[in-house]
Structure 1
Amino acid sequence: MTAPADWFITAGSTAPDVPRVYCFAHAGGDPRSFLAWRSELGDEARLVAVCPPGRGHRAAEPRPTLEEFAEGAAAAILAEERDAEGAFPLDRPVYLFGHSLGGLVAFETARRLRDLPTLRHLFVSGISAPALAPSQRVRDLAAMEGREFAEQLSFFEGLPPEVMAHEELLDLLLPGVIADFRMAAGYHYRPADPLEVSVCVVGGRDDAYLHPEKMRKWHDECRTPPALHWVDGGHFYFRDQSPRAVTDLLLDAVRADRHIEVI
């Protein structure tokens, strides 16, 4: 049986009451890349990269469906957040962040964490409303193989030119990206009660995959209207510009929650 710790790689303050930010990567993305944001968050939050089965140090495990990924991540987070007595320390807030495919997984994980009293915010980035997923473009792309897949992936600002020009590297990287797109294509949206937790939706102004109507439909998933932030850049705005487009939002939430707790 997989131990909860197998799901996570962490960086940042180890203080017991520091907020946790659980991060979910895009299709083909390395969850560990989020740990580079530590310098932006300082000691105000602990970054926790969520590592799914079938990837990285868990490569030998079967790849899950998106729903199985969310189920496993939620169970691991619940186990990680309990103290020795089985309670959830109310002075240690929890935040979820996911980009693109990771945003969809983070959303489904949040649905499964409704009973976690310390879950404060869900941040989703570069992803349209769940009810619209998977798009026809994602389904079509998931049916492709090899270089055809790699070339069509450019719509999502996928592989850099140096990877496209390197056949051996392309052969190494493509299977993981294709598997993640097939996970996304197999997603089945199911209506459920709106989320009670605060939701923040972030999109790049130059992201060809998004437009305002797709983003506005996030309102249907939230008890209170989500905050919508358009930032400079494309699908990977935080990679092209600066992670501060995300980390500043995270820090604002952490500091606001801390202020409320002090009051």
Structure 2
Amino acid sequence: MSKTSSWLVTHRRNPSAERRVVCFPHAGGSASFFRTWAEHLGPDVELQAVQYPGRENRLAEPLMASMGELAAGAAEALSADRRRETILFGHSMGAAVAYETLRLLEAAGTSHVTRLCVSGREMAGFPGPVDSGPRGDADLLATMADLGGTRSAVLDDPDLRAMVLDIIRNDYHLIDTYRPDPEATPVSAEVVALTGDRDPRVDVAQVRAWESVTTGAFSLRVFPGDHFYLTSHVRSLLDIATTRQRDRLSAPAS
């Protein structure tokens, strides 16, 4: 774990690494989701993951009530190390948190984040009015079954199930009430959008809309798989995230 912030967990510490990839978990997820990803990185890249409050080593801390609070905490932690080039990777809810974190960092004048990889999420958020009510258990379980990603053994244990559902309920409420600022200043970092071709909640056109948030380079990659396609394509995703831009420009986009 980072010595300076409980927000960051370092998987296979490498202080001499010239670059770092910082991963943002999905709704209900935690930093441990990315633990094995470090095995696929070379010696010049360190892997870190954002640990949201209320889970794992931060279990005793209260859950965050808004996207703004979550992004502010992550941005403060990431701004402590500006010496290394930083790449942000966010999946599902994590894509939105990573984007809002990047906006805060760039607004504060930092330029060490050079690339934002957004996975499995549309850019605009859910349309229509904000529904301020939290989801019930049946709704949460149906959504989780639709998307996959949560081990059935966890849900079969009554105590674990209650804890997990409370975390997921909060995260879904955060996402359900999140609306990106349509007047937001575009970021300057490169944006790479990624998705599975069988994701039940987002289609390729919605993912491609991330192009509008940046004045920098943009590319789109589509992989075989559903919402959690990424578990089968870790090496490819990290290659895309870490390949220098000059080399990526020669690779075909999906």
Give the TM-score normalised by structure 2.
0.85
Mapped to 2, the partners of 1:254 and 1:43 lie a distance apart of 19
Superposed displacement of residue 162, structure 1: 4.1
Which is worse superposed, 156-165 or 201-210?
Answer: 156-165
State the match for 1:116 in structure 2. 110
2:189 & 2:16 partners in 1: Cα distance? 23
Q: Does 1:157 align with 2:148?
A: yes
SS at match of 1:20: strand
In structure 2, the CA distance between the partners of 1:178 and 1:22, relative to structure 1 (3 Å rule), is same
Pick aligned residue for 2:243 from 230, 246, 252:
252
Aligned pairs (5 A) from 1:166-181: 166-181=157-172
1:187 to 175, 178, 183: 178
* Alpha-carbon distance in structure 2 between the residues aligned to 1:139 and 1:207: 23
CA deviations on 1:95-134 (whole Å, 9 max, x unpaired) are: 11100000000000010111222211111100101xx213
Deviations 1:123-168 (A, max 9, x none): 1100101xx21357x959x732224421233222253444454444
CA displacement, residues 190-232 of structure 1 (integer Å, 9 cap, x when unaligned): 1211111101000001111111221222121111352100011
Which residue of structure 2 aligns with residue 73 of structure 1? 74
**In structure 2, do the counterparts of structure 1 residues 182 and 107 end up closer, same or farther at CA, with 3 Å as the change threshold?**
same
Paired AA for residue 244 in structure 2: A
How many residues align structurally? 242
Q: Distance in 2 between matches of 1:99 and 1:184?
A: 13
More helix by percentage:
1
8 Å CA contact 2:90–2:119 kept in 1: the answer is: yes
Q: Which runs of 5+ in 1 are unaligned?
A: 82-87, 258-263
C-alpha distance 100-135 of structure 1, shift in aligned 2 (>3 A): farther
Cα distance in structure 2, aligned partners of 1:32 and 1:127 = 21
Which ranges in structure 2 are unaligned for 5 or more consecutive residues?
Answer: 249-254
Aligned residue in 2 for 1:125: 119
Structure 2 SS opposite 1:6: coil
Aligned counterparts of 1:55 and 1:168: Cα–Cα separation in 2:
14
Equivalent AA in structure 2 for residue 184 of structure 1: I
In structure 2, the residue corresponding to 1:117 is in which secondary structure?
A: coil
Q: Match for 2:212: what amino acid? A: D
SS of 2:105's partner is coil
**Change over 3 Å in CA distance of 1:61–1:149 after alignment to 2:** same
Matched, 1:223 2:215: yes
The SS at the match of 2:114 is strand
Shift of 1:68: 0.9
Shift of 1:177: 1.0
Distance 2:158 2:17 in 1: 47
User: Match for 1:116: what amino acid?
Assistant: T
Query: Aligned residue for 1:33?
Result: 33
Q: TM-score, normalised by structure 1?
A: 0.82
Change (3 A) 1:233 1:245: farther
- Aligned to 1:124, the other structure's residue is in SS state strand
Residue 9 (str. 1) matches residue 9 (str. 2): yes
Looking at structure 1, the residues matched to 162 and 218 of structure 2 have their Cα atoms a distance apart, in angstroms, of: 40
Q: Distance in 2 between matches of 1:75 and 1:163?
A: 32
Flag the 1:148–1:184 CA change in 2: closer, same or farther, 3 A: closer
| Aligned CA-pair RMSD | 2.6
CA distance in 1, matches of 2:28, 2:155: 15
Deviation at 1:44, TM superposition (A): 2.7
